[in-house]
Amino acid sequence: MSKVIHIQKSFSVSRKTGTLYLVATPIGNLEDMTFRAIRTLREVDLIAAEDTRQTRKLLTHFEISTRLVSYHEHNKQASGHELLRLLKEGQQIALVSDAGLPAISDPGADIVRDAVEAGIAVVPIPGANAALSGLIVSGLKTERFSFVGFPPRDKKPLGSWLADLKTQEGTLLMYESPHRIKKTLQAMFEVWGDRKMAMARELTKKHEEIAHGTIGQCLEWLESNPPLGEYCLIVAGSEENIAGMPMEGDKEVRWWSGMTIEEHVEHYIALTSDRKEAMKQVGKDRGMSKRDVYNQVMIKEI
């Protein structure tokens, strides 16, 4: 860890290196492009884009002729090294993603880290963001929230991921594809119970749609309305009353309270296919160590 704090003066005229601009692009509606973003893309020496074909359409629309290069997950090591070299030589570079803010669930986070470590100024050019747009129309709490990215694709990692997030307070924001959304919601229902949520798709576009309800209700909706487009899922945190759950005074009844410890373990085995991980999650639920869970289950099995 560096012992000297680095202070960035974003608009210092005496800066010898270039500046890396993180430029937000529209998530659907081109009118969400800001004047500052357009000006920045016109003035920089180079634009680094996750998908040059998609970005070229945007540049053509706004009559921007700045040189465009590729920077994505599969070439980020070689391309990132070259971009850093150009920045150190004093070139001004804009980084954009396919849509929204770069560096969020995006390879741009790597070059931002490297630029900061190299003492290069990194300047945000704010704009549209799907997760926050979904949050503010969800009707759920906005005082505290967490963006958790894309859920894991496979059953075992997905079950573990959901179990780790189960007790997290604050609204949870995530992205999901139309091909996996039913599987993800079903797993949420099994691990978290029937929480309040909103399901937003095609934000800012012609077919923008927000479904408000519970996880179970959203699953039912998808059965008769096949998922289309990318989704932003906004789900209530653990501190909110889970819809449909009985209450004892002001305290939520634990969803597993009617289970034996063996049934509780089997529930997580079905989700994760991993006995050790299942015991670990049961321990978290019941405030027990994994060893104590193991001992109790083994005693019952003998």
CA 178, distance to chain mean position in Å, is 16
Q: Please check whether residues 166 and 261 belong to one and the same domain.
A: no
Residue 279 covered by a domain: yes
- Domain count of the fold of the chain: 3
Q: Please check whether residues 104 and 160 belong to one and the same domain.
A: no
Q: Please check whether residues 93 and 71 belong to one and the same domain.
A: yes
Relative to beta strand 196-201, strand 19-23 is unpaired
Task: Provide the pLDDT for residue 248.
Answer: 41
Q: Please check whether residues 146 and 165 belong to one and the same domain.
A: yes
* CATH number for 196: 3.30.950.10
Mean pLDDT of 71-94: 91
The percentage of the chain sitting over the pLDDT mark of 90, rounded to a whole number, equals 63
Confidence of residue 9 (pLDDT cuts 50, 70, 90): confident
State how far the Cα of 209 lies from the Cα of 159, in Å rounded to an integer: 28
Task: Provide the pLDDT for residue 299.
Answer: 67
Task: Provide the pLDDT for residue 14.
Answer: 75
Cα torsion 219, 224, 226, 228 to 10°: value is -80
* CATH number for 97: 3.40.1010.10
For 238-257, the pLDDT digits (tens) are 877 554 444 444 444 566 77
For 14-47, the pLDDT digits (tens) are 778 999 999 999 999 999 999 999 999 999 999 9
Residue 188 covered by a domain: yes
Task: Provide the pLDDT for residue 247.
Answer: 41
Domain boundary among 99, 128, 157: 128
Q: Please check whether residues 205 and 114 belong to one and the same domain.
A: no
Radius of gyration (Cα) for the chain, nearest Å? 23
Q: Indicate the pTM of the whole model.
A: 0.78
Domain boundary among 110, 128, 146: 128
Taking residue 21's Cβ as centre, other Cβ atoms within 10 Å add up to 24
Task: Provide the pLDDT for residue 263.
Answer: 85
Copy the structure tokens of residue 194. 């029937």
Q: Please check whether residues 266 and 286 belong to one and the same domain.
A: yes
Mean pLDDT of 117-139: 96
Q: Please check whether residues 149 and 231 belong to one and the same domain.
A: yes
Side-chain half-sphere exposure of 15, counting CA atoms within 13 A: 21
Relative to beta strand 46-49, strand 247-248 is unpaired
Residue 5 covered by a domain: no
Domain boundary among 79, 95, 128: 128
Q: Please check whether residues 222 and 294 belong to one and the same domain.
A: no
Q: Please check whether residues 26 and 111 belong to one and the same domain.
A: yes
Q: Residue 152: pLDDT above 90?
A: yes
Residue 182 covered by a domain: yes
Task: Provide the pLDDT for residue 254.
Answer: 66
Q: Residue 174: pLDDT above 50?
A: yes
Side-chain half-sphere exposure of 285, counting CA atoms within 13 A: 25
Q: Please check whether residues 178 and 232 belong to one and the same domain.
A: yes
Residue 283 covered by a domain: yes
Q: Please check whether residues 124 and 137 belong to one and the same domain.
A: no
Residue 3 covered by a domain: no
Mean pLDDT of 72-88: 89
Range of the domain at 173: 131-240
Q: Please check whether residues 111 and 177 belong to one and the same domain.
A: no
State how far the Cα of 57 lies from the Cα of 259, in Å rounded to an integer: 56
Residue 46 covered by a domain: yes
Helix residue spans in 118-227 (DSSP H): 130-138, 155-165, 181-192, 215-224
Q: Residue 97: pLDDT above 60?
A: yes
Residue 247 covered by a domain: no
Copy the structure tokens of residue 61. 């629309």
Copy the structure tokens of residue 65. 């002729």
Please state at what angle helix 155-165 crosses helix 275-286, rounded to 10 degrees.
10
